[in-house]
Structure 1
Amino acid sequence: MICMNLWRRMLPQALRLTGKSALPLLRWADVMQVKTLEQMPGPSAARFLWDLFFRRGLARLHQMQLEGRRKYGPVWKASFGPILTVHVAEPELIQQVLRQEGQHPMRSDLSSWKDYRRLRGEGYGLLTAEGEEWQSVRSLLAKHMLRPKAVEAYDRTLNSVVSDLMEKLKLRQQQNSSGLVTDVSAEFYRFGLEGISSVLFESRIGCLDPVVPVETERFIQSINRMFVMTLLTMAMPQWLHRILPKPWDTFCLCWDYMFQFAKGHINQRLEEERQKMARGERLEGSYLTYYLSQAGLPLKSVYSNVTELLLAGVDTISSTLSWSLYELSRHPEVQMALRDEVLAVMCGRAVPDAADVAAMPLMKAVMKEILRLYPVIPANARVIPDRDITVGGYLIPKNTLITLCHYATSRDPKHFRDPDAFVPQRWLSRSEAHPYASVPFGVGKRSCIGRRIAELEVYLALSRILMQFDVKPAEENDTVHPMTRTLLVPERAINLRFIER
């Protein structure tokens, strides 16, 4: 009390000083107002787990962001099993976090992913590595995955995959008199996996064949099951794995097969390279496994990075393409305008390339709007390992998990007028939204390294689908909502009618 009274007497004098001499006192005032983690609002651990597992379920984690924002404000804390996390749901505060993340930023610990790698002796990839190990691989891959000119080199490879998709869609829609294609997400999931595989291996794995190879289908199922088990295994303390072993055992079996699948394709490509060398042929390639292997990375690191890149890109492509056609089918005026844009750019040509996309502003606006409404990763995360930081007036201790609530900010009416509506035109004019209100690929060094390849694959596929088909809903007022499965996915099958033009 004495200190506070003294401060009140000193404050008027401080304010009469010059700006320079008063600055230290004003900074000291800011420090005095910083609150501790204990003072941060949020549900009790029991209440949060009740909401999570019984009232709302893991599938509704994205909606719990909106509820937390309404109840507690832009910053709140909650315990997810053994993990205490601070939720941040305001663009300015997300920006504060990211500006303090340091030279080697950390995402969420992904503790169960790392536990598996330690258990099996596998290496860490771009999603799980930290520090210098992460930085060296990130720098290497960025040359081939983020530079626009480097990404343009993949358009011929990706267009070959798009051609197979078009044949598959044509076959599917011809099997039904109304042109109905059920569960388009499953079809686009296989398309996404085939596309990322062609970029990684410069070879095909049969996802779009009339009969998908058994090993490829099993790989797809393993990815899906692993993402479901990720949330569950992270929420369970390790001692609980011994009492309830099934989730952890299932999680490990999924990863076992995913590594086995990737290693098989990597070894095949490396053997082909060895045979070329034995014949005295020149080694060259434009696929990512080649760049990784030629950079002198340990084979264990090549295995882990390729495995993580395989699973990272598939959902982005599948989800974005599915939701794009879902919304375009429900907004025929936007679909018509986008088709007109594509046809005008193509000038009678049948197959677009990367350079054509640059002349399609509405196409890019549709993509931005879809990722605002349905961000593939509804919440990103950061861990600041080396120092405490201040966010929103709270002192957050180092090593605290900070969840960045992108779903909540991208659907906030304060930042987006009519936030639940599909309005891609909002991106064609100068946006009034805060630049961190919708950041579906993340920002900075830890942003999604595959975003440009994923975007290009979606742009090329969407262009050709609209040139060949009118896309309509399976039924009027057939509404599909998103759900959380670590990633944000449709809660049930999206069915659409493809009418040949």
Structure 2
Amino acid sequence: MVLITPGIDFIARSFAVLGVAVATAAGVGSLLASRGIVLSTWSLALGVVLGLPLLAALRIIKTEISHRRHAAALGSRMVPRAQGAMIGNIDILKSMMENWRSGYPGDGLFDLVEARGPVVNIRVLWSDLLFTASPEHIKTILATDFNNYVKGERFHHTMASVLGTGVFNSDGDMWKFHRSITRPIFTRDRISHFELFDKHADVVIGHIKNRMRSGDAIDFQDLMARFTLDSATEFMFGSCVHSLSANIPYPHNASYIPPQTMSARSAAANDFSRAFLDAQEIIAGRERRGWVWPLGEIFKDATTEPMKVVNSYIDPIIRDAIQKKQHSPPKEKSVESEIGEDETLLDHLIEITSDPRVLKDEVLNIMIAGRDTTAATLTFIFYFLSLYPDITVRLREEILAKVGPTRRPDYDDIRDMKYLRAVINETLRLYPIVPFNVRESVHAATWPSSDPMEKPYYIPAGTKTAYSVFMMHRRKDLWGPDAEEFDPDRFLDDRLKKYLVKNSFIFLPFNAGPRICLGQQFAYNEMSFMIIRLLQNFSSVKMDLDATPVDAFPPKAWAGASGRKGIEKVYPRMHLTMYAHGGLWLKMQETESGN
């Protein structure tokens, strides 16, 4: 059996185009021969070779003329283009890829926006990619003209080997179906089941206490990834992968590392977590390479190996659930039916569909949403708490005043803790969970100009439209001159009315419009619960720079750069979501009893 890899498929489709060109050339040769004009085979071959680039160039020119005419008819103007030094803006593509691998989020794009305006056409390899960090444009994409901006077939194809047709990789009726079947799981009763969080939080706290008593630092990001993975899998399946039971990594400078034992279950949990991350890294890289990404996967689909590991965990759970349903009395259930007290997400889904592919796609999509996003945000929250001890003190004071040193918080406690919410929001502002995103226009449209005296921007049909809430959240004209400073009070003082109340679309950590995150309140509750539990048990947080791996430090070239880039102590990176490269190695001071 021949394995059709993304690269082979891409080449096959390219040869199909070449085949049409050859057939056309042969037809032209026969026509000329019938009229006494005989061309050699080499002449025809040369004509094909030279003709394809010429035809491609003519097609590009024709499209350009058509777009300009349509833009003029709509009373709009073309989006300014990035001007690279190499043909097809290949130098810009190389720079973007390098920035993605080793740069600070937004590197290169900040310069493009500053040079070309609030929206710029990056146009790599003659393919339009419109980029914006404007709240007006993002509002258009996500809300006011929602139906005109979809994930699109190109995005579906790029992500399909991991996300399938799940809620994050579908449009139209399929998207509505996936969203409707998951909505009931995020009712208030479900999102405030804190027993689930508490069980896993106790294990986290135990790990930290044991490590602090040994005198070594702990990788807080790794711990939060395990906590959210165990919580997410139990929330969805009723049983978790028990990643917190696996060996917790020691820092490179540990004075003593005890013998590491690993049960089969723990090893499987580690393998699953690593493979899940690898798969996301691969599809994120595909999207950044644009339409040529399949050429990097000619000999194999790069997601095949990690997805084998992921599927080896997910498939048996889904198969058992389907078999259990087949041997159970039928239930009357619709997509909007409420979920029973003891039902998991999978219990609910299995009553709506028995299609294993649909079930797996939805589970994996929700797992990405419920695991990586929350883990990353908790990591950056405690990064900031380690940098600003006065904020830690103030936050602990609110926690102790509202909840006390030992009581488990409930829904009302969390709702009433204003400073806690401000700390979370300020972290989400500077490090939004999904920093960059993309859609594709269905029909030609326009975006408003920031200058009312200028014509609106023309958006051609079928064009990729990328946007960044990361960059928007740091704009000084939207958030004030201190936009790059970490200051939770901006969500409590006069700045709230001055900036955010005036335009709510400047703060979009959970998306907006019809695709707004269904799990937003679940995430707030989970993060709030963990923060409260940790600060009940630990009075201070600090980074251990000696324990931090050498490659986890920001590059020395960043020193002195403007904004947060010049002062970072962690190395922020991203795949589909943000994370701290090399982890966040912390030491925490355990509280005395009753304090």
TM more than 0.5? yes
Please state how far the C-alpha of 1:258 moved relative to its aligned partner.
Answer: 2.1
C-alpha distance in structure 2 between counterparts of 1:472 and 1:348, whole Å: 17
Please state how far the C-alpha of 1:297 moved relative to its aligned partner.
Answer: 5.5
Instruction: Write the mapping of 1:289-368 to structure 2, written as runs, cut at 5 A.
Output: 289-296=346-353, 298-347=355-404, 349-368=406-425
Q: Does 1:406 align with 2:447?
A: no
Q: Does 1:130 align with 2:171?
A: yes
Deviations 1:158-187 (A, max 9, x none): 2222222222222222222xxx43321111
Check whether the contact 1:77–1:87 (CA below 8 A) recurs between aligned residues.
yes
C-alpha distance in structure 1 between counterparts of 2:126 and 2:280, whole Å: 19
Relative CO higher for 1 or 2, CA cutoff 8 Å, sep ≥ 6? Answer: 1
Check whether the contact 1:258–1:307 (CA below 8 A) recurs between aligned residues.
no
2:35 is matched with which residue? none
Deviations 1:453-472 (A, max 9, x none): 22211111100100100233
The alignment partner of 1:250 has SS state of coil
**Which amino acid letter does the alignment assign opposite residue 203 of structure 1?**
S
Please state how far the C-alpha of 1:150 moved relative to its aligned partner.
Answer: 3.6
1:36 is matched with which residue? 78
CA separation of 1:50 and 1:207: change in aligned 2, threshold 3 A? same
CA separation of 1:58 and 1:464: change in aligned 2, threshold 3 A? same
1:96 is matched with which residue? 140
Check whether the contact 1:409–1:437 (CA below 8 A) recurs between aligned residues.
yes
CA separation of 1:284 and 1:272: change in aligned 2, threshold 3 A? farther
2:584 is matched with which residue? 494
C-alpha distance in structure 2 between counterparts of 1:55 and 1:358, whole Å: 39
Count of matched residue positions in the alignment of Structure 1 and Structure 2: 457
**Which amino acid letter does the alignment assign opposite residue 121 of structure 2?**
K
1:194 is matched with which residue? 230
1:158 is matched with which residue? 197
Check whether the contact 1:376–1:487 (CA below 8 A) recurs between aligned residues.
yes
Q: Does 1:170 align with 2:220?
A: no
Check whether the contact 2:570–2:584 (CA below 8 A) recurs between aligned residues.
yes
From 286, 300, 312, the equivalent of 1:233 is: 286
- The unaligned stretches of length 5 or more in structure 1 are 1-28
Q: Does 1:251 align with 2:303?
A: yes
C-alpha distance in structure 2 between counterparts of 1:199 and 1:105, whole Å: 32
C-alpha distance in structure 2 between counterparts of 1:376 and 1:361, whole Å: 21
Check whether the contact 1:323–1:370 (CA below 8 A) recurs between aligned residues.
yes
The alignment partner of 1:442 has SS state of coil
- The sequence identity of aligned pairs, in percent, is 19
Please state how far the C-alpha of 1:401 moved relative to its aligned partner.
Answer: 1.4
Q: Does 1:260 align with 2:312?
A: yes
Deviations 1:184-222 (A, max 9, x none): 111111111111111101212111114462222111111
Instruction: Write the mapping of 1:273-284 to structure 2, written as runs, cut at 5 A.
Output: none
The alignment partner of 2:539 has SS state of strand
Q: CA RMSD in A?
A: 2.9
Q: Which stretch has the larger CA shift, 482-491 or 438-447?
A: 482-491
**Which amino acid letter does the alignment assign opposite residue 521 of structure 2?**
R
CA separation of 1:172 and 1:107: change in aligned 2, threshold 3 A? farther
C-alpha distance in structure 2 between counterparts of 1:243 and 1:467, whole Å: 49
Please state how far the C-alpha of 1:396 moved relative to its aligned partner.
Answer: 0.4
Check whether the contact 2:246–2:270 (CA below 8 A) recurs between aligned residues.
no
Please state how far the C-alpha of 1:394 moved relative to its aligned partner.
Answer: 1.1
C-alpha distance in structure 2 between counterparts of 1:52 and 1:467, whole Å: 43
**Which amino acid letter does the alignment assign opposite residue 473 of structure 2?**
S
**Which amino acid letter does the alignment assign opposite residue 216 of structure 1?**
A
Deviations 1:29-68 (A, max 9, x none): 996641034xx23243223113123466465453333222
2:498 is matched with which residue? 432
The alignment partner of 2:243 has SS state of coil
Q: Which stretch has the larger CA shift, 258-267 or 188-197?
A: 258-267
C-alpha distance in structure 1 between counterparts of 2:157 and 2:368, whole Å: 16
**Which amino acid letter does the alignment assign opposite residue 72 of structure 1?**
R
Q: Does 1:480 align with 2:570?
A: yes
From 100, 103, 107, the equivalent of 2:151 is: 107
The alignment partner of 1:499 has SS state of strand
The alignment partner of 1:383 has SS state of strand
CA separation of 1:210 and 1:95: change in aligned 2, threshold 3 A? closer
CA separation of 1:461 and 1:235: change in aligned 2, threshold 3 A? closer
Larger Rg: 2
Please state how far the C-alpha of 1:326 moved relative to its aligned partner.
Answer: 1.1
**Which amino acid letter does the alignment assign opposite residue 229 of structure 1?**
I
Check whether the contact 2:286–2:293 (CA below 8 A) recurs between aligned residues.
no
CA separation of 1:83 and 1:261: change in aligned 2, threshold 3 A? farther
- The unaligned stretches of length 5 or more in structure 2 are 1-70, 248-264, 331-339, 450-455, 546-566
Q: Does 1:70 align with 2:114?
A: yes
Please state how far the C-alpha of 1:361 moved relative to its aligned partner.
Answer: 0.7
The alignment partner of 1:63 has SS state of coil
From 450, 453, 478, the equivalent of 2:519 is: 450
C-alpha distance in structure 2 between counterparts of 1:185 and 1:162, whole Å: 14
C-alpha distance in structure 2 between counterparts of 1:495 and 1:157, whole Å: 26
Check whether the contact 2:228–2:374 (CA below 8 A) recurs between aligned residues.
yes
The alignment partner of 1:230 has SS state of helix
CA separation of 1:217 and 1:387: change in aligned 2, threshold 3 A? same
Please state how far the C-alpha of 1:113 moved relative to its aligned partner.
Answer: 4.2
CA separation of 1:36 and 1:183: change in aligned 2, threshold 3 A? same
Check whether the contact 2:444–2:458 (CA below 8 A) recurs between aligned residues.
no
The alignment partner of 1:203 has SS state of coil
Check whether the contact 2:151–2:440 (CA below 8 A) recurs between aligned residues.
yes
Instruction: Write the mapping of 1:19-58 to structure 2, written as runs, cut at 5 A.
Output: 33-37=75-79, 40-44=80-84, 45-54=89-98, 57=101
CA separation of 1:359 and 1:328: change in aligned 2, threshold 3 A? same
Normalized against structure 1, the TM-score is what?
Answer: 0.83
From 455, 468, 480, the equivalent of 2:537 is: 468
Please state how far the C-alpha of 1:491 moved relative to its aligned partner.
Answer: 2.9
